[in-house]
Amino acid sequence: MTARMRVNGVATAQVSALDRGLAYGDGLFESIRFVGAIAPLWPRHMQRLAEGCARLRIPAPNPAQLWREALEVSRDMPAAVLRITVTRGPGERGYALPAAPQPTRVVAAFAPPPVAAGIYAQGVRLRVCDLRLAEQPLLAGLKHLNRLEQVLARAEWNDPAIADGVLLDSHGRVISATMANLFALVDGQWLTPALDRCGVAGVARAEVLAACPQVRVGELALDTLLGAGEVFLSSSVRGIVPVRSLDGRSYAPGTTTRRLQQHWRDLGFSMEQGG
Amino acid sequence: MTARMRVNGVATAQVSALDRGLAYGDGLFESIRFVGAIAPLWPRHMQRLAEGCARLRIPAPNPAQLWREALEVSRDMPAAVLRITVTRGPGERGYALPAAPQPTRVVAAFAPPPVAAGIYAQGVRLRVCDLRLAEQPLLAGLKHLNRLEQVLARAEWNDPAIADGVLLDSHGRVISATMANLFALVDGQWLTPALDRCGVAGVARAEVLAACPQVRVGELALDTLLGAGEVFLSSSVRGIVPVRSLDGRSYAPGTTTRRLQQHWRDLGFSMEQGG
């Protein structure tokens, strides 16, 4: 384990074994790309975390405190991915909310994931996952700690040439990749799936939607995706990544993908291609 | 916190903050009622845990080792509820399965929950939850650590006179209570919901099904439940608990409920009424 971390501000690598984050996945997380001491999407991460805490009725952490701890754990790292985990804290047995919750916050810095050569220029290969996401509107959009579906979906393939898998819901609608949101150009119109029944509303997705107001949020059928002219993924860790193939179908990155990659560079990201 | 515990055999109350159980809810648990050094349903708990580990591809713990640790942490407790948690262990960032997982096992002993007077004789009051369970066949039946739905459902009410809530799936089918399985007598036929799309296949439910082969496993509509002649809950922690009311409808415990309560006493449970 190479992470450096703080748990409730203390330099330790341990949490209570009675934490409800472990017992029930009762919490949320954020994965935040840092370039030195810069995290261009930090305000969006803090906004999503606050909204998630409100929806789960977890007292929200103080963003200024999180910022200080994030800088502490990533100090001297030229680039890092910070994982901030917020749980409802320790609890006795039972699902009922504690009367006076003492939330746990974990701030951990990791080295960025390795970037395969050419993924920003040429794009990545995807497959369609067999697992169908269950639909739970009360949890949809949240980056909560109940992620067994993503674990099982990611376990469907081992081929390192496949970068990610496309997830459909139980009605066959395209929702996202396992660790990124997805955008497709369909008949001249950019489209990204609605996430009101399942899926995670990514911070990078929100940045794309703000930068490209012409993108429509709606339903996306698999056949429509397979027939799209252009597809890219958005991720707070990897940025804007073109998709070059999905099962048998091929795509080529176009002007919107390139413009968004430039937008990422303009924000201050300095990875291979602005991711 | 009053629990006594072992983490991977060590007397500590902490786990790694990088454990995938915390990061993703990537694991399983069992809540096991002990009466002194007796745990009548232990073999069923071990069987369910092994099956869950197989389905999630987590290396299963050694039951003999768990048994020793369970006796250690519950020693000198006249009665206890043991929580055994098994996770895929520590991991770096990312959903992909570790190549060489080092599962984490937490064995913790808690005092049994307080029993309200008369619940075994007269029964408990239930309500119908607003939350609808999402349907994920790949996780259905498992007692996994992704329990945010149960946390949110349990947060729907504060009235201490309501013991539990009935959960329906997104199609309106009755599945269970938030912390127990449910049985209903409908037109002379005992029925318990099928759990192949969502819900937890309880160890006490398995014991009831083994003791009462005439119980049918199938679909149960809410209207059917409201019109049932008799309803009870099964729980590894609380045993067989009659339901006296559900929203406006009242029920009275009959011979099957009483016979199963006696069965629980015969197994060695010694709570107020064989729970």
pLDDT digits (tens, 9 = 90+) for A121-153: 999 999 999 999 999 999 999 999 999 999 999
Are A6 and A73 contacting, i.e. CB atoms less than 8 angstroms apart? yes
With a cut of 80, say whether residue B274 has pLDDT above it: no
Q: Is the pLDDT of residue A2 over 90?
A: no
Q: Counting every residue, how long is chain A?
A: 275
Residue B257: the pLDDT is 97
Structure tokens at A179: 């660790």
Q: What is the pLDDT of residues B121-178, one digit of tens each?
A: 999 999 999 999 999 999 999 999 999 999 999 999 999 999 999 999 999 999 999 9
Q: How far apart, in whole angstroms, are the C-alpha atoms of residue A54 and residue A115?
A: 35
Strands B230-235 and B181-186: antiparallel
- The whole-number pLDDT of residue B272 equals 58
pLDDT recorded at residue A116: 83
Residue-averaged pLDDT of chain B:
95
B231 touches B255 (CB < 8 A): no
CATH architecture of A4-110: 2-Layer Sandwich (3.30)
Question: What is the per-residue pLDDT for A93?
Answer: 80
pLDDT at A212 over 60: yes
Supply the DSSP symbol for A259: H
Rounded-to-integer distance, Cα A275 and Cα A114, Å: 12
Do residues B228 and B254 touch, judged by C-beta distance below 8 A?
A: no
- Alpha-carbon torsion B139, B143, B146, B152, what sign? positive
CB contact under 8 A, B23 and A145: yes
- According to DSSP, the residues that pair with B230 across neighbouring strands are B185
Q: How far is CA A107 from the centre of its chain?
A: 16
Q: What is the pLDDT of residues B72-131, one digit of tens each?
A: 999 999 999 999 999 999 998 799 999 999 999 999 999 999 888 899 999 999 999 999
Residue among A3, A14, A83 whose CB faces B14 most closely: A14
DSSP helix/strand/coil, A204: helix
Average pLDDT over residues A106-110: 97
**Residues A45, A275 contacting (CB under 8 angstroms):** no
Report whether pLDDT(B275) > 60. no
Looking at every residue in chain A, the average pLDDT score rounds to 95
Do B234 and B240 contact (CB within 8 A), yes or no?
yes
Q: What is the pLDDT of residue A275?
A: 39
Per CATH, B4-110 and B124-267 having the same topology is answered no
Q: What is the pLDDT of residues B211-240, one digit of tens each?
A: 999 999 999 999 999 999 999 999 999 999
Nearest CA in chain B to A154: B96
Picking from B17, B97, B131, the nearest residue to A15 by CB comes out as B17
Residue B50 tokens, joined: 């092994």
> Looking at chain B, which residue has its C-alpha nearest residue A98?
B155
Closest alpha carbon within chain B to A110: B93
- Class (C level, CATH) for B124-267: alpha beta
- pLDDT bin (cut points 50, 70, 90) of residue B34 is very high
Q: Is the ipTM of this complex over 0.85?
A: yes
The amino acid at B121:
A
Please state at what angle helix B203-211 crosses helix B255-267, rounded to 10 degrees.
110
Low-confidence winner among A81-90, A112-121, B34-43, B183-192 (lowest mean pLDDT)? A112-121
Mean pLDDT within B264-273: 80
Q: Are B202 and B180 in contact (CB under 8 A)?
A: yes
- Domain spans, chain B: 4-110, 124-267
Half-sphere exposure of A184 (CA within 13 A, CB side): 27
Q: Which CA distances in Å does B222 have to B168, B226, B254?
A: 8, 6, 21
Share above pLDDT 90 across residues of chain B, in percent, rounded to a whole number: 93
Residue B53 neighbours by CB under 8 Å, 6+ apart: B28, B59, B60, B61, B86
Which of A24, A29, A31 lies nearest to residue B148, judging by beta carbons?
A24
Residue B26 has pLDDT above 80, yes or no: yes
Burial of B224 (0-12, 13-18, 19+ CB in 10 A): middle
Query: Residues 164..193 of B with a Cβ closer than 8 Å to A: which?
Result: 170, 178-179
Q: How confident is the model at residue B271 (pLDDT cuts 50, 70, 90)?
A: low
Of residues B7, B18, B22, nearest to A21 (C-beta): B22
Chain B closest-CA separation from residue A24 CA (Å) = 5
Per-residue confidence (pLDDT) for residue A274, from 0 to 100: 38
| Residue A72 pLDDT | 96
Q: Is B14–A18 a contact, with Cβ atoms under 8 angstroms apart?
A: no
